[in-house]
Amino acid sequence: MKMIISNNCNLLYYLLMLISVNEVFPIRTYTKDDLNNLRDEVKEMFYHAYDSYLKYAYPYDELRPISCDGMDTYGSYSLTLIDALDTLAIMGNHTEFQRVVDILSAKTDFDANINVSVFETNIRIIGGLLSAHLLSNIAGINLEPGWPCNGPLLRLAEDVAKRLIVAFDTKTGMPYGTVNLRHGVPKDETPVTCTAGIGTFIVEFGTLSRLTGDPIYEEVAMNALYALFNHQSPLGLFGNHIDTNTGRWTAQDAGIGSGVDSYFEYLVKGSILLQRPELMEMFHTSRKAIDKYLKKDDWYMWVSMTKGHVTLPVFQSLEAYWPGVLSLIGETSNAMRTLHNYHQVWQQYGFTPEFYYITQNEAGAGKESYPLRPELIESIMYLYRATGDPFLLQAGEDILRSIKHSAKTPCGYATIKDVRDHRKEDRMESFFLSETTKYLYLLFDVDNFIHNQGEHGTIINTPNGECVINAGGYIFNTEAHPIDPSALHCCHTIPNQNFDFKTFETNRDFYQGTLIKKYKKGTSDDLSSLENITITLESGVASVEELSIDNMTEKVAENMSDTLKNGSESILLAENRVFIAQVMLERFRKENRYPKNEAWQTNYELLSCKAQTFLQRLSIWGEFFNK
């Protein structure tokens, strides 16, 4: 009896505490002036870091904000300058955007004898160049004839992709993790790659294919996704690392965080951006297993991919992207519950540690740092756009205040070495300017052009005819580089359908996807035949069959030895071996190891589900303004 009374008293105490908290700390109401002031604070933060990079670190990759100097990290190609470029456009600084574009346009290629991460170079360099290329119109840049299907930044992005694509030349089609920008895959490179390092290419490579008209990038990225999907466990789970030659999982912990995260993100974003419903089917299939085995009280654990039991009850700060992804498919209620869990961790420390032990409610030993990561503010921005919940503005302001108070230095903003005492570390990663400040800015800048939900667009003339751009529905890659999906339909050659948009309002159901598959089916060119595929050499043209791996001659190798520098699709590897991307692609097509699900490929109803409003409008631009 005494125990029952005691428990009831405790319950009453906690209820009174909750009531008291709600009375003392109500959700703040934000006026337009409040939001503008917060937006300007974020802009000031960005420029303090950006100007310090230019003053102390350029042309190095990153700023060291305590030493006030620079260092190279990912490839010695002025990474922060490229990563921050589209943030300048979003913040309206067209003068500086033009200056940086001029600097980059003077560069003809990325030829260098250096080893780089395939994953990081793709999301940061290719993603940054493609985004800046597509924002050039808004930023008032003098455009080359044929834009957006032509332009110096697009050519640079494709040059980098040609140097990375050799990584996919494996038995499974899943890429190596490292390449040399001049010589391809290093001789002793391990075939073991993390899951995200395999599944995080379709946004950038798909964009490249749609803009250049060359299907190789999108096909290679899709092949890697199919390969990965076909190596899921019987439970439908994916491990952390896999051998790209054998398909054997070398790390079998399944989660949604480090080493896996952007794979799931790109299934959703790639599906929306490229109108590929099969990717959304893959995501929904994977999510069923995630919810069944990983989800516990709106947290997500790490489990064995083969047995499903919990192996690591931790929250990783990288996992905070997940609510934002759920918001893109309309799952805002589930997303908000998980976001509240993550925000509680931020409130506990003022930051989110890399690892947080859920059962002990404490930062993980040796994983107490916060390297200015963007994932939590990313989800907050997405969910605010979807719900308008003022709590999210307050959560965003919490992040802004913490960073300004504890991470600022005279020369920038520093990594928090330990969230428990807020000691600093001498590093400012480039994603602070490409992601963290951008998402904060967009949270508070409610009128930014990025938030266009399809209310307006711009009709431009291209060599393929008229098309619509700037119609909203921007898709951010995992480095927060926005891609304009409407622009991707300006450059490919699918025949235009004659639809009367004067009747749109009365035929809305027709246009939202239910009957679209009838018009999509059979419109793509059959690319499986080798008859018309050629590879251009300096000395002329040769067919794929003549350049097959088995019968490539020394004469061809001599002709191809310098072609990478000239921007063609081949690369001279070590030991005088020649890699030709088109030959690799034809091998993938011929082997057809991972047959496609035709029912998934045509299920366009998936792309007109209960998602944010702009996705329905995005489908319209994508389906009908083809050329």
Contact 247, 228 (CB under 8 A): no
Q: Residue 459: in which H helix or E strand, if any?
A: strand 458-462
CB atoms within 10 A of CB 259: 20
Residue environment code for 355-377, b if the CB has 16+ CB neighbours within 10 A, otherwise e: bbbbeeeebbeeebbbbbbbbbb
Give the per-residue pLDDT at 25.
55
Give the per-residue pLDDT at 28.
86
How is 146-196 classified by DSSP, letter by letter?
A: TTTS--HHHHHHHHHHHHHGGGG-SSSSPPPSEEETTTBS-TT--SEEESH
As a whole number of Å, the CA-based R_g of the chain is: 25
Tokens of 394: 């307050």
Tokens of 400: 């802004």
Binding residues for Ca(2+): 478
Residues of the chain with pLDDT under 50: 1-7, 13-24, 494-501, 504, 507-568, 609-627
Q: For 534-543, how does the pLDDT look when each residue is reduced to its tens digit (9 = 90+)?
A: 333 333 333 3
Give the per-residue pLDDT at 608.
59
Give the per-residue pLDDT at 347.
97
Letter for the amino acid at 534? T
Give the per-residue pLDDT at 102.
97
Q: For 148-174, how does the pLDDT look when each residue is reduced to its tens digit (9 = 90+)?
A: 999 999 999 999 999 999 999 999 999
Give the per-residue pLDDT at 466.
86
Give the per-residue pLDDT at 290.
98
Distance CA 164, CA 569 (A): 11
Distance CA 127, CA 108 (A): 18
**Strand 253-254 to strand 249-251: parallel, antiparallel, or no bridges (unpaired)?**
unpaired
Binding residues: 478
**Strand 482-483 to strand 475-476: parallel, antiparallel, or no bridges (unpaired)?**
antiparallel
Give the per-residue pLDDT at 506.
53
Give the per-residue pLDDT at 572.
57
Nearest to residue 35, comparing CAs of 405, 339, 390? 390
Give the per-residue pLDDT at 461.
86
Q: In this structure, is the dihedral angle defined by the CA atoms of residues 370, 254, 202 and 449, taken in order, positive or negative?
A: negative
Which residues are catalytic, by number? Answer: 120, 261, 354, 375
Model pTM? 0.84
Give the per-residue pLDDT at 35.
98
Distance CA 67, CA 622 (A): 48
Q: Which residues contact 259 (CB under 8 A, 6 or more apart)?
A: 194, 195, 196, 197, 240, 241, 251
Distance CA 427, CA 431 (A): 11
